[in-house]
Each structure stands twice: as C-alpha cells, then as structure tokens.
Structure 1
Amino acid sequence: MDESSSEEEERGSSPSGSSSTWGPCKESVQKHRFSGDSGLGVQLNITVPVSVYKHFLNDDVLKLIVDETNRYANQLRSSVTLSRKSRMQKWRDTCKSEIQKFIAILIAMGIVHFQKMRLYWSQKSLYRNDMIRGIMNRDRFELLLKCFHFSNNADQTTKADRLTKVKPLIDLICGKFQTTITPGESFVIDESMVPWKGRLFFHQYLPGKSHKYGIVYAGKTETTKGKRVGHGHEVVLQLTTGLLNEGRTLYIDNFYTSVGLAEELLENKTCVCGMLRSNRRGNPREVCAKKLKKGEILARENRNSVRVMKWQDKRPMLMISSNPELAENVVPSTSKNKKGEIVMKPKSVLAYNKAKKGVDVSDQMSSYYTCIRRTLKWYKKLAIELLLGS
C-alpha cells in the first residue's frame, strides 16, 4: 500500500462527520472581494519564448549546475581507481557555455526521439543529426550526463529531506516563479507525475495518471508525521503562503481536499473548490452514502459555510466548495448528449474543470516532447523535468 492510500485510511469517517453537523444549503452569503495583486512582477518579452525561458534558466541556475557537476566529477575521480581507458580520465571542468549546449541537445532529443542516445551521433542517414554532432561529440555528452549534478554529496548526511540531491535547484526555480508572477482571483494547486519504475521508496502508484508509477511528492517525513493534519493539508498551507486573506478561490483535486482544509482557508478569506474523496474525515455521511440517479444532486452545508455536493453523472462526483458563487444549481455546459441536447452541470463542476484545464493542457504538451529517459537516475529525471518539462 502506498503512502497516499494509508493517509486516506487515517482520515476516514469520524464522529465529526455525523449528519447533525450538516444541514440544507443556506442562501448564498457575500463572497470576500478579491483585493490582492496579480500578474507579472517583472518585465518579460513574451513574444520571444527563448527570452522567457532564459529568465528562469538564468545565471544562478547555470552556475549551480556548473559548480556541482564539476564538484561531483572531481569527487568521483578521487574516490575510485580509474582504469587507463576510463572516460573519466579525460574529464575537464565544464563551464556555463557548455552546459547551455548540453541542455540544448537534451531539448533537441525531446523533439526528435530515438530509443538510444548514441543514435544521434550515428553515421547512418536514418539517424544522423548534424546539429547535435556539430554542437558536441558523443563521448563528451555522455560524460556530462554521467556527472550532471545539483548538490554537494558531502553535505548529504541526513535523510530528513528526501529531495536533497535536487533541493538547491528546486529552491532556485521555485523562488524565480514566485517573484515572476502572482496568481489572480482563481489559482490552482496540482501535482505532476515524473515517470519512475525503479527502486525508490517514495515513488507512487496512481492509476489515473498516464504514467502510473513515478515521483509525485517526497512522501511523509519525520517533520510531517504525527501532525494534526494530513500531508496534503500541509502542502496546501505551504504553497498558499502570501496568497491568503485576499479573497482568492483555490481549485484543488481530491489528493488535497478535506472539510478541515476548506474551513481553515475560509477563516483566511480564501475559498476552495474541488473534488473530494468519500472517506475524508468530517464528510457528511448522508451525502457520501446516498445512491443517486443520473442527473440528481444532493448537497449539504455545515455551520462554517462549507458545502459538500454529490452529483450523479456517468459516475458519482463528490465535490466540496466554500465559494458561495459556486452553488450546487445546474447551468448549461458546452457539451451535448447523444440526442444533441445541451448537458446541464453544476456550476462548481464547470468552474473546477475550467480552472484545471490549464494544468492538464500543460502536462499534455510537455509529454509530447519529453526529454527524460528511462536510463537516467531518479534525481536527474526530476531535475530535467523541472528544467525542460514544466
């Protein structure tokens, strides 16, 4: 059983989810008006994509990669006895310009995908890639890939942070995103799967993803175990730092949602809308257990103005919302049934689908030209996805 499954069991039904705390939905109350800032915090020429990319792959990121790649290569050379024919005997320190060329080759490999990297340097006309051959020879590329690194191994004395091998890179990239753009009234938290089937104790199995096995998050650590709230709750509170108390609405999937989270965010003038797992602690049992016919809706609201709604489509959909504007009433959607009739859907479902669409399209577009390879170590896969796939 993976960690996400065990977390669900820990959050199962409890007395706080009894029907006495839930009742019919009240008339909509006034939503907190959006009072925050939004948009770009820097000047970017968005008409030139490479300039936007270089804004994130800046000198600080390149310096980190250069320094740690050189450090790791020299640590590797000094820690083992190299044979006379070892490629590491030919190692010379890399530089910013060469790392940029190396990343350019990775991007090109994502656009034109071969099963084996060595085929890009093949003499055969079917595989020959003169651009890549002209940028860097094969042996140097493979040597850089072998030593591609993002942190100092000598500093990794604790297992408290499972992402320690890529933590400096994550901090730089996340910090850059936070200073570049501020979300508007609606914002989304979602997770992406980095494919991984190898041995890694915090890899996950999510059957709903296109890649069912991979890295989504680092799992529970000693700093999160035993807390009063679940891991997903903690993640949301961390990611919404600086965005609360300004009248925003957060859209999240059932990995994160819970009644407790919705109540806590609402206390901070932030609404929630999203899918909900039926075994979350605090759920109204009447709604979760009710069998509905197609098109039927059942909704209940608790004393803290959090609503839980069940709507029967092709399958039952359980949703949670604390935004009074996203009620359980149905409105026309853009889809039609087999008879050509417009399908009626709850406002909360339509709003959720619209908000999540951007994330889903981004993941879809990224998958078409993925630069990650099966042969890479997990932390290199994760780093390449951060640098080239996000």
Structure 2
Amino acid sequence: MDKRKRLMNVQEALALLNRLSEEESDGGEVSGLSDVSWVCSASDGSSDSDPEPLRKVRPSHPDPPLEDAPTDVPAHAEVCATEPSPAQEIGKDGTVWTVMEPCGGTGRRQIQNILTESAGPTPHARGNITDKLTAFMCLCDSLMLEEIRDCTIAEARRENGDRATWDVSIMEQKAFIALLYVRGALCGKNIEVESFWSEQWGNAFFNATLSRNRFRDIMRYLRFDKKETRRCRLTTDKFTHVRKVWDRFVHNSIASYRPGSDITVDEQLFPTKARCPFTQYMPNKPDKFGIKFWLAADVDSKYMLNGFPYLGKDASRPATQRLGENVVLRLVEPFVALLSKNTSLVGTIKRNKREHRPSVQGRAELFSTKVLKNDKVGLSVYQCKPRRNVTILSMQHQHVAISTERKKKPETVEYYNHSK
C-alpha cells in the first residue's frame, strides 16, 4: 500500500480515529484544502511505541508536495489541537481552580477597569456650595437640624415640667456642632469638656461661641427621636433612636459626591459607653467597646459614601447569602452592580473558606506567589511570612505581574494595599 501524507482538520482526524477504533482497519486517504492543515504522522518504529501528536503546520504554498507517510494510524493516537490544559485544583465545595503562571506585565486594561466619569462633587453639590458653611449644609441639611432641635426640645420639656419654656435655636445647634468639631481637631477626646472653658488652660474659641452652662444643657437634652413613640418603633428597628437622622445624612452623602475608580468597604468601631443591645466588644480595636458600623468610602478622598450599623443577626438577609457578601452589596448598591455595570471587586478572603483548595492552608516558599483562576475570578496566594500567607480574590486582574523587589509582591497585593 502506498504511504502518503494526510492533510486533515481536527474534525476529520477525530472522525477517522473513531472509524479506526470501531472497524479496526486502516483508513483511506483524507484530504483537506483549508489554509491551516493538520498533519497526522506515526513513528517509524513498531506499533507498540507511542505515536507523535498532531502538529500544527502552515503550508508554504497552496499545493504542498506529498511525502511518504505510513498509512497505519493507531486507534489510541492523541489529537492535540492546543497546548495541554493547565493543572487544576479543587476546593472543598467543588470549586475548580486552574493554576496560572504569573506574567511579566499587566497587559491591556479591561473595560471594567476604565472609569469614564470624573470623581468629585455632583452637580447638586456644586450648585449649592459657596463657602464652608454651605458645604457642611449639603451633608447636614436644615431638615436634619430641625428634626434634632424638635426632639431635643421635646426631651427637655418631658424631663423638666417646670422648665417648659426651655428652647434651643438652629443657630445654637450649629454653634454646638462647631465646638464638637474643634474639640476633635484639638484631639480632646480624653480631655474633660469643662476644661475647654478654663480661664487659664481653656480655648478662647469655646468661650466666644457658647457658654459652658449652655453647652452642658444642650448636651444633656440632645435627642434624635421622640421618646413617646420609641417603644413601638423598637419592635421593628433597634436603631430607631437615630434612624431618621442617620438615613438623611447617608442620603445627602450619596447625593453630594461621585466616587472615583476605587471604593473600599470595611468596618469601623465608634467608641461609646451607652447602653444599647448592639454594643460590640472587639479586643483588637483600641477602644474595645462601641457600635460597629459598616462603611463604604472613596479611596482617594476618604469621603464616606454609605454606611449602616451592625445590629446583630439580620432577619432580612437571605439564608443563602453570607454576611460579607450582603454587606458589600448593600453598601455599593447606589453605585454599582458588579459585572452588570462593568465593576470589578478586589478583596481578601479567609484561608478556611470552603472555596479554597486544601493546600492554601499549607506553607510555601517565602515571598512566593501562586495564581489560580476560576472563570472571571482570580486568586493570588502570597506567602508574606514564614507561617502566614495572604489570599487576594480579584475580578480586575486577569493577569498577575510579580514585583522585582526583594519581597516579590504580586500586583494584586500591591493594588489592595494601595486602595484599601
């Protein structure tokens, strides 16, 4: 039988191999006339030896000369149209991760990483801001001040029937807030308030703004809701004491500023000694006790975009949705909807999550990086310390570059440190 070279595409080669497997006989000639052809060849040795895989060639002219080739194609011949698939690792929950090689550069930026809108004050804010006071009023508007004034007066008259004429004006409220700002700017959190009115050690600004007794009275009666209707509201909302004022503040914050390309989401403990059912104890924080808030902020300007307090287990959260996922989606809802609005996510993930492969909890070479990918999500595992590694989950970095510095930090870790 004449030995001739076969030119075939992938589908024809697979069909030929299937027929060989079923009929256990030699195949006839199969020709292919496409621009890129697949050349199937076998070794010159015995049939027991492994055949060479198909190799991809491009003919130098439309009618390449034929060369002698064996007609016997083993039934177990392997057709390789592309490179072998990379190694894969499987997490405890069945998540399949494909091991990728770090690249030398970031390559072309994807569309979801390109911000076309400019960050900064919105048209609403620019149209209302003329000086520092009007800038403050964009966030703490007259409706909020009036609500606080009415609730404060109601509390004073409820507690002191003989002082039913007690009153406070909006101007006094602004002066009271100004003193709180100055106290914070002077780092006077741990200084007794009375000391700021001291003739010897006090600050002249305090005496010129409000008297000490007037400041003390406003502080005593300051309220953000009316106690007469609080009991019925507490049955549905633990945060009802300041809910109305807080929601208005968040609404104004969203309406007054357009964030930049990076938004960070994290928790913050506001220290307080007030007795409430959702006070948190966090030993790793400087102030241990307080009310924990989840906040979203613009990375570049540090502007607070959205936030809400942690009140314990949320009955409205779907059972299939984890706490972290629920928090992030709620905070960024006014701005993004992830991939549906071309928005990517970058963050850390705990090593004990079920999506992880078991080897993540093991130790690797110091300052080494392993990159894995699942669909559009990448995972970078960086061994930052001998007994600790950092795992960064990213929808932004399709290719991860490694720094040339001593610690060889991956691009995802450097980006996270910069934007958190």
The 3-state SS of whatever aligns with 2:403 is strand
Matched letter for residue 322 of structure 1: M
User: Given the superposition, is the C-alpha separation of residues 320 and 212 from structure 1 closer, same or farther in structure 2, using an over 3 Å criterion?
Assistant: farther
Q: Distance in 2 between matches of 1:287 and 1:214?
A: 38
2:402 to 330, 333, 344: 330
Q: How does 1:41-60 map to 2 (within 5 A)?
A: 41=122, 42-43=125-126, 49-60=132-143
The 3-state SS of whatever aligns with 1:313 is strand
User: Given the superposition, is the C-alpha separation of residues 329 and 131 from structure 1 closer, same or farther in structure 2, using an over 3 Å criterion?
Assistant: closer
**Aligned partners of 1:283 and 1:308 also within 8 Å:** no
User: Given the superposition, is the C-alpha separation of residues 346 and 53 from structure 1 closer, same or farther in structure 2, using an over 3 Å criterion?
Assistant: same
User: Given the superposition, is the C-alpha separation of residues 288 and 206 from structure 1 closer, same or farther in structure 2, using an over 3 Å criterion?
Assistant: farther
Give the aligned partner of residue 11 of structure 1. none
Give the aligned partner of residue 370 of structure 1. none
1:345 aligned onto 2:420: no
**Residue segments in structure 2 that go unaligned for 5+ positions in a row:** 1-89, 293-308
User: Given the superposition, is the C-alpha separation of residues 328 and 155 from structure 1 closer, same or farther in structure 2, using an over 3 Å criterion?
Assistant: farther
Displacement of 1:118: 1.8
Displacement of 1:160: 2.9
Q: How does 1:1-390 map to 2 (within 5 A)?
A: 17-18=92-93, 21-25=96-100, 31-33=110-112, 34=114, 37-39=117-119, 40-41=121-122, 42-43=125-126, 49-78=132-161, 89=163, 92-112=166-186, 113=188, 115-123=191-199, 125=200, 127-156=201-230, 157=232, 158-196=234-272, 199-216=275-292, 217-224=309-316, 227-245=319-337, 265-266=338-339, 269-280=342-353, 282-302=354-374, 304-314=375-385, 315-325=388-398, 327-332=399-404, 343-356=407-420
Query: TM-score, with normalisation over the residues of structure 1?
Result: 0.67
Q: Distance in 2 between matches of 1:162 and 1:344?
A: 48
User: Given the superposition, is the C-alpha separation of residues 47 and 295 from structure 1 closer, same or farther in structure 2, using an over 3 Å criterion?
Assistant: farther
Matched letter for residue 335 of structure 2: L
Displacement of 1:165: 1.0
Q: Distance in 1 between matches of 2:229 and 2:322?
A: 30
**Residue segments in structure 1 that go unaligned for 5+ positions in a row:** 1-14, 83-88, 246-264, 333-340, 357-390
Identity %: 22
Give the number of the structure whose alpha-carbon radius of gyration is greater: 2
**Aligned partners of 1:62 and 1:96 also within 8 Å:** yes
Structure 1 runs of 4+ with >6 Å offset: 26-30, 44-47
User: Given the superposition, is the C-alpha separation of residues 47 and 71 from structure 1 closer, same or farther in structure 2, using an over 3 Å criterion?
Assistant: closer
Q: Distance in 1 between matches of 2:193 and 2:209?
A: 15
Q: Distance in 2 between matches of 1:36 and 1:223?
A: 38
Matched letter for residue 373 of structure 2: E
Displacement of 1:145: 0.3
Displacement of 1:51: 4.2
Give the aligned partner of residue 258 of structure 1. none
Deviations 1:174-209 (CA, angstroms, capped at 9, x unpaired):
111111112233222222220135644322333443
Q: Distance in 1 between matches of 2:261 and 2:184?
A: 35
Query: TM-score, with normalisation over the residues of structure 2?
Result: 0.63
User: Given the superposition, is the C-alpha separation of residues 207 and 36 from structure 1 closer, same or farther in structure 2, using an over 3 Å criterion?
Assistant: farther
Matched letter for residue 31 of structure 1: Q
Q: Distance in 2 between matches of 1:285 and 1:160?
A: 42
Q: Distance in 2 between matches of 1:183 and 1:91?
A: 46
Q: Which range moves more in the overlay, 15-24 or 175-184?
A: 15-24
Structure ranking higher on relative contact order (CA contacts 8 Å, 6+ apart): 1
**Greater percentage in helix:** 1
Deviations 1:235-264 (CA, angstroms, capped at 9, x unpaired):
21122224235xxxxxxxxxxxxxxxxxxx
Q: Distance in 2 between matches of 1:151 and 1:198?
A: 16
Deviations 1:366-385 (CA, angstroms, capped at 9, x unpaired):
xxxxxxxxxxxxxxxxxxxx
Query: How many residues in Structure 1 have an aligned counterpart in Structure 2?
Result: 301
Q: Let me know the Cα RMSD of the aligned residues.
A: 3.1
Displacement of 1:56: 1.6
Q: Distance in 1 between matches of 2:196 and 2:108?
A: 62
Deviations 1:36-59 (CA, angstroms, capped at 9, x unpaired):
644321317989545422322222
User: Given the superposition, is the C-alpha separation of residues 166 and 274 from structure 1 closer, same or farther in structure 2, using an over 3 Å criterion?
Assistant: same
Give the aligned partner of residue 379 of structure 1. none
The 3-state SS of whatever aligns with 1:43 is helix
User: Given the superposition, is the C-alpha separation of residues 297 and 91 from structure 1 closer, same or farther in structure 2, using an over 3 Å criterion?
Assistant: farther
